Amino acid sequence: MPSPILTFINQEAWEAWLEANADEVPGVWLRIAKQSAEQSTVSYAQAVESALCYGWIDGQKQAENEHYWLQRFTPRTPKSLWSRINKAKAEALIAAGRMRPAGLRAIEQAQRDGRWQAAYASAGTSTVPDDLQQALDANPKAKQCFASLNSQNRYAILFRIHNVKKAETRARKIAEFIDMLNRGEKLHP
């Protein structure tokens, strides 16, 4: 079982812990209640909001039992990527006056190094970029395989292409994915 595992009855308790410990702890597992749990906890959405305020971010999710699951929260690293969803949440938290100094520092650093502007789309809103679409159109077998992928595998390809910085690396990655798709392979089983 991962450790430490912390349980907070509400968002205020989680934020009080972050206020006292966010600068000192490398990460925690937060116990989140499912609807079937008798005792409620801070919700996942509330936990993410509070984490963003303190420069932290959610990570892995892990099952615990039929009533609770565990969500990993850690301080953002200097190269931590931003999603468009969390970027919008952070902007709303700033507008509401809830963002703390550590959260503002994480945002300012991301703005300076370009990660803020390069925030990635979520699986539900991501689209196939033109260069990948052209490569798929030129390779019918790869295009057919790509069309048959589940959303997890499609998004995994789109995410990896989106996060490549150099044009030549991006072209190489697209070629690798086209080869993989031509072989009928996918990233996740």
Q: Are residues 90 and 164 in the same domain?
A: no
Instruction: Say if CB 142 and CB 171 are below 8 A apart.
Output: no
Whole-model pTM: value is: 0.83
Residue 89 carries which side chain, given as an amino acid letter?
K
What is the DSSP secondary-structure string of 72-90?
A: EEEEPPTT---BHHHHHHH
Q: Are residues 38 and 68 in the same domain?
A: yes
Q: Which helix (H) or strand (E) holds 124?
A: none
Q: Are residues 9 and 97 in the same domain?
A: yes
**Tens-digit pLDDT profile for the chain (189 aa)?**
567 999 999 999 999 999 999 999 999 999 999 999 999 999 999 999 999 999 999 999 999 999 999 999 999 999 999 999 999 999 999 999 999 999 999 999 999 999 999 999 998 899 999 999 999 999 999 999 999 999 999 999 999 999 998 999 999 999 999 999 999 999 988
- Comparing CA positions, the residue from 90, 97, 10 lying closest to residue 46 is 10
Q: Are residues 13 and 78 in the same domain?
A: yes
Q: Are residues 174 and 82 in the same domain?
A: no
Q: Are residues 103 and 141 in the same domain?
A: no
- DSSP conformation class of 36: T
Tallying the residues shown for the chain, one arrives at 189
Q: How far apart are CA 107 and CA 99, in angstroms?
A: 10
The total number of structural domains that make up the chain: 2
Domain limits for position 144: 130-182
- Per DSSP (E only), the strands in the chain are 5-6, 28-33, 56-63, 68-75
